[in-house]
Amino acid sequence: MSAATIALLGQPNSGKSTLFNALTGLRQHVGNWPGKTVEKKEGSFSYQGKDYNVADLPGSYSMSANSDEEVITRDFIASGKADVVCILADSSQLERSLFMLADYAGISVPCFLILNMADVAKNQGKKINPAAIEKKLGIPVMLFSATDKNAYDQFYKTMERAIKEKAMLNVTSLEQEYKKVDGYSEICETLSDAVIPGYTPMWLTVKAMEQDQVVTAKLRNTLPNGIQKTVEMFVKQSQGAIATGGCKFAWIDGILDGAVSESKTKAKLGKLDRIYTHKIWGKAAVILTVVLGLIASFIPALPIMVMGMGVDSVNGLIRTSLTDAGLSAFLTGLLCDVLIQGLSFVIKMLGFVFGVTLVFGLLEEVGVMARISYVFDNTMGKLGLQGKSVMPFLVSFGCTMGGAAGARVIDNWGQKVLTIALAWAVPCGAAWAIIPMLSTVFFGAGAPLIIVAILFVMILHMWITAKIFSRGLVKYEDKCGMIMELPPYHKPKWGSLMRYVFGRTKDTFFRVVKVVLLVSIVFWLLSYSTSGTENSILYKVGVTIEPFTKVFGLPWQLFIAFIASSFGKEGAVGVIGALFTGGGSIYQITTSSAVTENINQILLANVSRPEALAFIFAITFNLPCIVALAATYQEIHSVKWTVRIAAYYTFTALLLSCIAYHVGLLIW
């Protein structure tokens, strides 16, 4: 008598491989299925003097022809090579894992059902009655844990029973479900057992309704033309896989009814989630979380800012020492006003990069960022966007170029353009480093209020921009809903969080230091003149354009810094560093006060608070940088829209600057 062959069938992670290894031990070999790159695992074992062959079929979700794995699996079974099919299901989630059994129903090969991971189900408090399930299915069923060596004796007995009884799955109640679907009975009546050997008319009808390509092709080759056309007509009229899938789930529920006892937990939300997902309070809670997060970012930023100020204070000593040592004024200025001053700015900026990354990284780690994303998702619909547009926006908080690239997940071109246009309004990482630094310099303890104001203006800006740009770009029917599975709240993994925060801070340092120093050198040189500052190129240009720049509340130096910020926000810091430092010529003629080495004091002496407010708003909402501009073009492939977005942001930045200046005049 030849050895019986057992085919192991189950969804991925159903414990198939554990069972296969336990059954075969070293008596197994691995290869590929003919003509496919899918792994083929076969082996053998003996039980009570009898030999058995085992085929570990590829793990697949169902028996449909959606992948090579699924086609190989069902072809192997239907070929009759297996004497019995061992179907594995995960006991801890039978509602979903019995789907394979439901999809198998109708294949004319004996089978038995193994409810694996019984230990996990038991720990979940589930009580499963395999005898009740067996009665309904008509095939041997057993509770099992593939990791429990003592359970295998029972497994062998169940397997032998299935082989001996040639146990066939009772599909009566499943067919009753299918009969409720329009077109099922009509198609089924046209088919017979002989159409495709190994498959019943029920199984073939269901697969035809699901528009399974392999089954459809086989029916086309097998059925007479008239019947084929009738089948195709009913298939077209049917609800397809959605309807048959619903039948399978209904059948599974019927099988489990009375056989599994568990407390069916109705959807329950935690306290925090009840607030975040609340229709009214959700948005307020999220905005409050973001505002508090930004304010909290100042705390870890503070020690690093103090370090930056420390560099400022030694700058004076270094300048005196260099002058005493006889170094030329040019070299002393270059070293102190450009290098050391630039470094001081960069260190202060880094404080906020560190703070913002730490606080928002922490919020993400504990699961709060996902809730923020969820709340904003719903707002996206109101802006004419898809929910997934929120991801480019979140990425834009780090880098607008990343945000523009992130819009690639949006298929609709109009929505992609609108998403990128709105992503530009989100202050990037560089802006979040500069804004708090300048706010602290000019407004001291009032700096967090500036941050809050920026945040509110950002939301307003996005709303107005959406209204302006959405016309012609998006249609109501383009919108579709989204489903989110919010991650559970958990304690942060401090090690990985800190590695991420330090990594980001380090990357930012190297990127920013290059830009700041380069821009500082260029503008310092443009403002330097040995024959009197009035003769420097920059001064001449500056005083010429100042009547125009004053319209926006910006002195010419800050206007030039605004222009530089179009190439990269860090560039604005470089310009400020070059134009307002003590040894530089521009500073000396723009102020009559004595030379002071502290950049904070210099800025306070030369720039009024309304001007500073105007400048902060101007650079925050200016076009992000040249690279973001290029990334935008690369994603939307339209010069017209790229230019339109850039011009719009330049105009709105100056408009906001003008408004902020006049608001500032009212306050101070």
Partner 1 sequence: MHMDELLRLLKDGNTRTIEQLASELHTTDADIRRQLEFLEHIGAIRKISAQESGCGHCGSCSGGACKGCMPKNAKQNMGDMWEVVSV
342 binds partner 1 (CB under 8 A): no
Stretch that binds partner 1, among 38-46, 147-155, 347-355, 377-385 (CB under 8 A): 377-385
Stretch that binds partner 1, among 235-243, 308-316, 441-449, 653-661 (CB under 8 A): 235-243
Stretch that binds partner 1, among 193-201, 238-246, 442-450, 517-525 (CB under 8 A): 238-246
Binding residues for partner 1 restricted to 267-296, rule: CB under 8 A: 267-269, 273, 277
Stretch that binds partner 1, among 1-9, 244-252, 417-425, 527-535 (CB under 8 A): 244-252
Binding residues for partner 1 restricted to 159-218, rule: CB under 8 A: 210
Please, what is the minimum distance in Å from the beta carbon of residue 459 to partner 1? 18
Q: Which of 266, 471, 491, 640 binds partner 1 (CB under 8 A)?
A: 266
Helix pair 569-579, 429-443: axis angle to 10 deg? 40
Take residue 315 and report the two structure tokens written for it.
């700058």
Task: Give the number of residues in contact with partner 1, rule: CB under 8 A.
Answer: 71
Question: How many residues appear in the chain?
Answer: 668
Helix pair 341-366, 569-579: axis angle to 10 deg? 150
User: Looking at the DSSP assignment, which residues form a beta bridge with residue 85?
Assistant: 7, 111
Stretch that binds partner 1, among 45-53, 94-102, 114-122, 142-150 (CB under 8 A): 94-102
637 binds partner 1 (CB under 8 A): no
Among positive and negative, which fits the CA dihedral 621, 627, 633, 635?
negative
Neighbouring residues of 224: CB distance < 8 A, sequence distance ≥ 6: none
The residue assigned the tokens 């906020």 is: 352
Q: Give the whole-angstrom CA distance, residue 115 versus residue 94.
A: 8
Helix pair 241-256, 172-179: axis angle to 10 deg? 140
Long-range Cβ pairs for the range 12-17 (8 Å, 24+): 12/59, 12/60, 12/61, 13/59, 13/90, 14/59, 14/88, 14/89, 14/90, 14/97, 14/100, 14/116, 15/88, 15/90, 15/116, 15/117, 15/146, 15/147, 16/56, 16/57, 16/59, 16/88, 17/41, 17/56
Q: Between 249 and 463, name the residue whose CB sits nearer to partner 1.
A: 249
Binding residues for partner 1 restricted to 448-507, rule: CB under 8 A: 479-487, 496, 499-500, 503-504
Per-position x/- string for 29-68, each x denoting binding to partner 1 as judged by CB under 8 A, each - no binding = --------------------------------xx-x-x--
Binding residues for partner 1 restricted to 406-425, rule: CB under 8 A: 406, 408-409
Please, what is the minimum distance in Å from the beta carbon of residue 289 to partner 1? 15
Please, what is the minimum distance in Å from the beta carbon of residue 386 to partner 1? 7
Q: Between 165 and 273, name the residue whose CB sits nearer to partner 1.
A: 273
Please, what is the minimum distance in Å from the beta carbon of residue 59 to partner 1? 13
Q: Between 152 and 249, name the residue whose CB sits nearer to partner 1.
A: 249
440 binds partner 1 (CB under 8 A): no
Q: Between 392 and 542, name the residue whose CB sits nearer to partner 1.
A: 392
Please, what is the minimum distance in Å from the beta carbon of residue 616 to partner 1? 23
Among positive and negative, which fits the CA dihedral 588, 592, 595, 600?
negative
Please, what is the minimum distance in Å from the beta carbon of residue 584 to partner 1? 30
Q: Give the whole-angstrom CA distance, residue 167 versus residue 173.
A: 17
Contact status, residue 607 vs residue 559, Cβ threshold 8 Å: no
Q: What is the DSSP letter of 149?
A: G
Contact status, residue 181 vs residue 209, Cβ threshold 8 Å: yes
Q: Give the whole-angstrom CA distance, residue 54 versus residue 43.
A: 5
Stretch that binds partner 1, among 125-133, 134-142, 396-404, 615-623 (CB under 8 A): 396-404
Q: Give the whole-angstrom CA distance, residue 206 versus residue 107.
A: 12
Please, what is the minimum distance in Å from the beta carbon of residue 623 to partner 1? 16
Considering only CA atoms, give the Rg of the chain: 35
Please, what is the minimum distance in Å from the beta carbon of residue 376 to partner 1? 9
Q: Which of 27, 218, 222, 245 binds partner 1 (CB under 8 A)?
A: 245
Q: Between 258 and 503, name the residue whose CB sits nearer to partner 1.
A: 503
Binding residues for partner 1 restricted to 116-145, rule: CB under 8 A: none
254 binds partner 1 (CB under 8 A): no
Q: Give the whole-angstrom CA distance, residue 331 versus residue 531.
A: 16
Binding residues for partner 1 restricted to 556-615, rule: CB under 8 A: none
Binding residues for partner 1 restricted to 97-116, rule: CB under 8 A: 99
Please, what is the minimum distance in Å from the beta carbon of residue 272 to partner 1? 13
Q: Give the whole-angstrom CA distance, residue 96 versus residue 116.
A: 13
Q: Between 69 and 83, name the residue whose CB sits nearer to partner 1.
A: 69
Contact status, residue 616 vs residue 454, Cβ threshold 8 Å: yes
3-state secondary structure of 537: helix
Q: Between 336 and 462, name the residue whose CB sits nearer to partner 1.
A: 462
Stretch that binds partner 1, among 285-293, 359-367, 585-593, 601-609 (CB under 8 A): 359-367
Q: Dump the DSSP string for 174-192.
A: HHHHHHTSTTHHHHHHH--
Q: Which of 38, 228, 381, 589 binds partner 1 (CB under 8 A)?
A: 381
Q: Which of 65, 359, 391, 538 binds partner 1 (CB under 8 A)?
A: 391
395 binds partner 1 (CB under 8 A): yes
Take residue 372 and report the two structure tokens written for it.
């923020």
Contact status, residue 618 vs residue 435, Cβ threshold 8 Å: no
Please, what is the minimum distance in Å from the beta carbon of residue 207 to partner 1? 12
Q: Between 374 and 442, name the residue whose CB sits nearer to partner 1.
A: 374
Q: Between 363 and 538, name the residue whose CB sits nearer to partner 1.
A: 363
* Total Cβ atoms within 10 A of residue 127: 10
Q: Which of 131, 242, 284, 543 binds partner 1 (CB under 8 A)?
A: 242
The angle at the Cα of 327, spanning 326 to 333, to the nearest 5 degrees, equals: 135
Please, what is the minimum distance in Å from the beta carbon of residue 500 to partner 1? 5
Take residue 395 and report the two structure tokens written for it.
């990425």
Among positive and negative, which fits the CA dihedral 388, 394, 400, 401?
negative
Q: Between 430 and 526, name the residue whose CB sits nearer to partner 1.
A: 430
